[in-house]
Chain A
Amino acid sequence: DTGVSQDPRHKITKRGQNVTFRCDPISEHNRLYWYRQTLGQGPEFLTYFQNEAQLEKSRLLSDRFSAERPKGSFSTLEIQRTEQGDSAMYLCASSPSAVSYEQYFGPGTRLTVT
């Protein structure tokens, strides 16, 4: 197993454009999480999925953000009409079960909005 992968690793976009990131969790992990991390801060929770169901969303997740996990495997995070304040590292993590708090993180996608 190669661990959690994220694509792309880096994305530069102009303000107002839409971007989509992909996360492939560790196979058989049924929980998937999205976080955002800015410089000097720890990861901030955005949302999480149990299989294909999105069970929790942070207040940080504005209407411009949407996440999907259509078949309970990979997930996508889309940001519409990007703003400069969206510039951050977007991290994905997966977890094997409801009884495990341990999360396995991917390397992240660094978004720069110009």
Chain B
Amino acid sequence: DQQVKQNSPSLSVQEGRISILNCDYTNSMFDYFLWYKKYPAEGPTFLISISSIKDKNEDGRFTVFLNKSAKHLSLHIVPSQPGDSAVYFCAASGRNYGQNFVFGPGTRLSVLP
């Protein structure tokens, strides 16, 4: 039973347009969420995070939105660049959840020039 879901295995976007990657979770104990980016042959790289006390966090071209009532978060990349092409993982954890970070299966983003 996947507690963190990323229902789109892949996404293609034109360069300069917005990329929206979605993530859903089922465990209401989660209160901290992270996005990681992974290039081939490399480990995941931390991108941006959000605490459940917020509904939005922004860092440059990357914005994460959290809808706690829907148990849904999304990562927006604007404008998308070819270098953003990677696999993006959503991960969740919480103060009462120990250090067991739960990752989703990932979404492969392709930004087309």
Interface residues of A (CB under 8 A from B): 4, 31, 33, 35, 40-45, 48, 55-56, 58, 91, 93, 101-108
Contacts and interface: CB of A to CB of B under 8 A. Distances in A.
B25 interface: no
Contact of A56 (B44, B49, B100): B100
B101 A103 contact: yes
B113 interface: no
Given A42-B4, A42-B106, A58-B100, A105 B91 contact: no
A4 B77 CA distance: 27
Q: Assign chain B's interface to a size class.
A: 20 to 34
Given A42-B91, A91-B43, A102-B46, A55 B99 contact: yes
A42 B46 contact: no
Given A44-B103, A105-B45, 13 more contacts: A40-B106, A41-B105, A41-B106, A42-B91, A42-B103, A45-B102, A48-B99, A101-B49, A101-B101, A103-B101, A104-B46, A105-B43, A106-B43
| Of listed A33, A35, A101, residue having the most chain B CB within 10 A | A101
A101 B32 contact: yes
Nearest to B42: A107
Closest 6 CB pairs between A and B?
A: A42-B103, A105-B43, A48-B99, A102-B46, A105-B44, A45-B100
Contacts of B32: 101
Contacts, number: 55
18 contacts: A4-B43, A33-B99, A35-B103, A40-B9, A40-B106, A42-B91, A42-B103, A42-B105, A43-B44, A43-B101, A44-B103, A45-B101, A55-B99, A58-B100, A101-B34, A101-B101, A106-B43, A108-B43
A93 B99 CA distance: 12
Interface string B1-12: 000100001000
Nearest to A47: B99
